[in-house]
Structure 1
């Protein structure tokens, strides 16, 4: 069955215009941001998108399903709840959202009184920086997650809350999730404050320098964490 036409279109034969036909509506990319962390229930999405009305959220999710960006499925018993998750095409927006986060990071000065804050919102601007800094030293990690293509998990704790990073077999950061990864067996924990997180995101501070200066505290729980500490200090572990 052919997909019904969108309500609005730029009607321009241009790849950018076509992309914006799908993700240019207000709230759509922020829904993608939330779903990049993994499947979410409608109530969880609404809680982490402060300011969106229930009608608008429901409408955007329907649009995303129609456009093949997201899908709705029911979790097995005893949960028996419905969750939304990105499709392969939706997940392909990951580098787009990461690039937007990195581009927008310099605009994050002191929070405004009206600003909502969630810890996992800090993950996206960090991802690209962590790919090319000390986190890439964590090669060869073997974690307990068992997820395809995921070799280890690292918890990141801020005063605002926690999220976790998924490491690929080569030690690169291949994704993130909301909340701690304790149930799946994290191999390390990084603790830092929002200012340090933003400084790393903007490129003003490297992970190695932050660890060396004590602005990032590493819970040593195995060789991979020692590798990160060694990269920061230049002193090999005994």
Structure 2
């Protein structure tokens, strides 16, 4: 394993970038906020990363205490990577970066990959309270653990169990919310987001 490069500056921002400033590192954190992931699943949801670079980044992140690796018991019998407590502390960093990057989204380019769950962070930022929310897009379904303090903050596919709210969103509305051009509440009022469910989150979205 190659030694970690350093800015050699006695500054907390520089020290943080020593750990997370390499290309792909924060996007790996984004994927692991969904909970434990196998290497093959990470590679599939990080289009553009080579297998060598992904393996190298994961080793660096293990060394730096951001992720840990464990073996699932049979019948899974596969190794998975998951965030440590230290790695999970990067959630507000990614949320702030996602908010700052709204102005950079612009129009989707023909070469831009897209995964439905990449909208998880912008939508989490738009929801108050706590509970399980299922989001349905044409590109796929995912679910959010709003207000979660431990464990995953989102996941692929339908919600495991009955969600507090279900949102049916078209991609254009989701992009508008992600870009900060439209609030989630306004999208509901305008009929661009359909909300069902009897949980507090669903009632708040319908009544506000």
Same fold (TM over 0.5): yes
| Matching residue within 13, 17, 28 for 1:16 | 13
Deviations 1:137-157 (CA, angstroms, capped at 9, x unpaired): xxxxxxxxxxxxxx6311011
Deviation at 1:20, TM superposition (A): 0.8
Q: Tell me the distance in 1 between the aligned counterparts of 2:93 and 2:24.
A: 15
- With the length of structure 2 as denominator, give the TM-score of the two structures: 0.90
Q: Tell me the distance in 1 between the aligned counterparts of 2:145 and 2:107.
A: 29
Match of 2:189 in 1: 212
1:25-174 correspondence to structure 2 within 5 Å: 25-131=22-128, 136=129, 152-168=131-147
- With the length of structure 1 as denominator, give the TM-score of the two structures: 0.79
Deviation at 1:30, TM superposition (A): 0.7
Match of 1:228 in 2: 205
Deviation at 1:192, TM superposition (A): 0.8
Larger radius of gyration: 1
Match of 1:176 in 2: 154
* Aligned pairs, number: 204
Deviations 1:152-201 (CA, angstroms, capped at 9, x unpaired): 311011111111111349xxxx93222221x3332321011222122223
Match of 2:165 in 1: 188
Q: Provide the alpha-carbon RMSD of the alignment.
A: 2.0
* Residue pair 2:65, 2:84 contacting (<8 A) in 1 also: yes
Query: Where does the alignment leave 5 or more consecutive residues of structure 1 unmatched?
Result: 137-150, 232-238
* Residue pair 2:116, 2:139 contacting (<8 A) in 1 also: yes
Q: Tell me the distance in 2 between the aligned counterparts of 1:39 and 1:161.
A: 20
* Residue pair 1:105, 1:198 contacting (<8 A) in 2 also: no
